[in-house]
Amino acid sequence: MLSTDNLAARIDHTLLKPEATRDQIVQLCAEARAAQFASACVPPCYVSVAANELYDSGVAVCTVVGFPLGYQLTKVKFFEAHQALSEGATEIDVVMNVAAFKSGRDAEVEDELGQLAELCHFRGGILKVIIETALLSEAEIRRACDLCAAAGADFVKTSTGFSSRGASVEDIRIMRDQLPAHIRIKASGGIRTHAQAVALVQAGADRLGASAGLALLTPPDSAEAASTHEPTAY
């Protein structure tokens, strides 16, 4: 059974709404520090704010690149990642180019992810690749996992939270079956309850991305307030 501390250490406490304010990001970071979440995941324009708020906290600063659609040019994603790492991010969640992937341009996808993995590792960071499982068949999920592994990604992540659905237990089972043991999995999108969180971890998820991070720590029979954030799919 997962303890609250063990579950908290798996959560990327997230706020990626387009209307997110600086004050909300500061609050998110305060919650992440207090709960000792794995990271606070913030929009690129707030990386420096989060880095300042989380200094010496043990909580990582995470941000997104090529978000949420993934079809930016490689050089644009590379610049985004470089800028974020320079401003204090240590974890980069990049959206795979699903358009290129669906077009069969696997070598191009792998090369892009490889460049980003090399950059992140050179700067002491980690790369999580969002494959957007809602848009993929099981065979495509497996193929995408193979490309991420070949490119040197640290994590493969299910979803942006901006597509038709978020993570499912079945997605995680497929990904865990396909990926080498050393590559971790992040489930994200629509995770709003403790029960969902536990089910995803039991299926093989190493991290959980959620805006309802505090709610995930609260079992159904607990009377404690879950979160000051309204749960969303992000």
Q: How far apart are CA 161 and CA 191, in angstroms?
A: 10
Give the pLDDT mean for 10-20: 98
pLDDT-derived band at 203, boundaries 50, 70, 90: very high
The structural architecture, per CATH, of the domain 64-216 is Alpha-Beta Barrel (3.20)
Q: Are 70 and 98 in contact (CB under 8 A)?
A: yes
Among 195, 220, 222, 197, CA closest to 207: 197
pLDDT at residue 228 in the model: 38
- pLDDT band at residue 171 under the 50/70/90 scheme: very high
Is the separation of the CB atoms in 172 and 184 below 8 Å? no
Average pLDDT score over residue span 96-104: 98
What is the pLDDT, as a whole number, of residue 231? Answer: 37
The CA-atom distances, in angstroms, between 94 and each of 91, 97, 127 are 10, 9, 7
Residue 156 has pLDDT above 80, yes or no: yes
How confident is the model at residue 71, as a pLDDT? Answer: 98
* Mean of pLDDT over the chain: 94
Q: Rounded to an integer, what distance in angstroms lies between the CA atom of residue 136 and that of residue 98?
A: 9
Residues noted as catalytic:
93, 157, 186
Domain-wise residue ranges, the chain: 64-216
In percent, how much of the chain has pLDDT > 70? 94
Q: What is the pLDDT of residue 223?
A: 40
What's the residue count for the chain?
234
* Mean pLDDT, rounded, for 24-52: 98
Q: What pLDDT, in 10s, does the model give residues 113-155?
A: 999 999 999 999 999 999 999 999 999 999 999 999 999 999 9
Note whether 90 and 127 are within 8 A (CB): no
